[in-house]
Amino acid sequence: MGETNQNLYSGSFNIEGGNFNSAGIVSTNIKSILKKLGIPGDLVRKAAIVSYEAEINVVSYAKKAVVNLTVNSGTVQIEVIDEGPGIPNIELAMQEGWSTADQKIREMGFGAGMGLCNIKNYSDDFHITSEVGKGTHLKMIIQTP
Amino acid sequence: MKLSDVRDILDAEVIVGQDSMDMEVKTAFGADLMSDVLAFAKSGSLLLTGLTNTQVIRTANVLDIAAIILVRAKKPSAETIALARELKIPILTTKYILFETAGRLYMKGIVGCLPKVENTSGRN
């Protein structure tokens, strides 16, 4: 549809579940890609925050995940598709403070039941679907000028 | 104030970022819960924390935090130091506890990067 949907970047990244030391590598990459594309700093931070919290969730709970970054003129879209246990009750999981985190996750400074809330609050548009025993699919959209 | 003033006020040891001591800082945020840091901290602020793992550096990088002040005499791991060097994020460590660290900086003019949380949902 002309200029409004012009694709500026498309790329995918992998996250390995359980690898706590690697959590944050993908969001650091996403941050530098968006910076290079000239996205304003506050929007780059929003995108980095949502992808970082999503990464923390993947290393904490899932087997693995693919992150798709799509930058079009007007939007940054980050999709995180994991293979994992899924979320039985999304409404409950979205409640701030609700968490199933273990000690290891808490030692990293996470696991207080804020991740999905932070992701939702920093996204202009947020979608979550999940299937128990299969995995969870997050889609975050951040509007850009 | 400059990061070198922060260092002197807190009698802190500079672990990473000796060459960043001229950096200007005005605000700070203190927490050990990184999700709270991600929810509330603002870019260009100091991050006061007792957490020393690599996620502190990743969190600081995501938010463009100016520098990390480790409180309660915490020492970062070699891995944390290496990542801070790579991402060019200064780390200082002070023997003061979090309360004292915040108080001493506040007395000299550093303020919180937000005074209070008005609305816990829709915080950005």
CA-CA distance, A67 to A128, in Å (whole number)? Answer: 14
pLDDT at residue A5, rounded to an integer: 77
Would you state the pLDDT for residue B68? 98
Query: Where does the pLDDT of residue B120 fall: very low under 50, low under 70, confident under 90, or very high at 90 and above?
Result: low
Residues of A in contact with B55 (CB under 8 A): 20, 23-24, 56, 108-110
pLDDT band with cut points at 50, 70 and 90 for residue B12: very high
Domain total in chain A: 1
* Residue B122 pLDDT grade (very low, low, confident, very high; cuts 50, 70, 90): very low
What tens digit of pLDDT does each residue of B22-55 get? 999 999 999 999 999 999 999 999 999 999 999 9
Verify whether the Cβ–Cβ distance A108 to B53 is below 8 Å. Answer: yes
Indicate the pLDDT class of residue B119, thresholds 50, 70 and 90.
low
Question: To the nearest whole angstrom, how far is the Cα of A102 from the nearest Cα of chain B?
Answer: 14
One-letter amino acid at A68 equals: N
Cα separation, A142 vs B24, whole angstroms: 30
Planar angle of CA A129, A55, A68, nearest 5 degrees: 65
pTM over 0.90: yes
Token representation of residue A25 = 């590598």
Among the partner residues B35, B53, B55, nearest to A118 by beta-carbon distance: B35
Q: Residue B121 pLDDT > 70, yes or no?
A: no
CA–CA gap between residue A65 and residue B47 (Å, rounded): 30
Which helix (H) or strand (E) segment holds residue B101: the answer is helix B98-107
User: Is A82 among the domain residues?
Assistant: yes
Provide the token pair at A50. Answer: 């949502």
Gap from B123 CA to chain A (nearest CA, Å): 7
Instruction: Answer for the pair A83, A64: CB distance below 8 angstroms, yes or no.
Output: yes
Q: pLDDT-based confidence at B118, cuts 50/70/90?
A: confident
Residue A37 domain-assigned (yes or no): yes
Q: What is the pLDDT of residues A96-140, one digit of tens each?
A: 999 999 998 999 999 999 999 999 999 999 999 999 999 999 999
Q: What is the mean pLDDT of chain B?
A: 95
Return the pLDDT at B124: 43
* pLDDT tier at A1, thresholds 50, 70, 90: very low
pLDDT of residue A4: 60
Which residues in chain B are closer than 8 Å to A117, comparing Cβ atoms? 39, 121
Whether B12 contacts B94, CB under 8 Å: yes
Q: What is the ipTM of this complex?
A: 0.90
Domain containing A102 equals: 7-143
Task: Select from B62, B121, B122 the Cβ nearest to the Cβ of A27.
Answer: B62
Tokens 């990464």 identify what position? Answer: A55
Per CATH, domain B3-112 is 1.25.60.10: no
Mean pLDDT (whole number) for B84-94: 98
Q: Do B62 and A48 touch (CB under 8 A)?
A: yes
Where residue A11 sits, what CATH number does that domain have? 3.30.565.10
Q: Does residue A21 surpass a pLDDT of 90?
A: no
Cα separation of A110 and B91, whole Å? 21
For residue A2, being part of any structural domain is answered with no
Is there a domain that residue A1 lies in?
A: no
- Domain assignment present for residue A123? The answer is yes
pLDDT of residue A2: 47
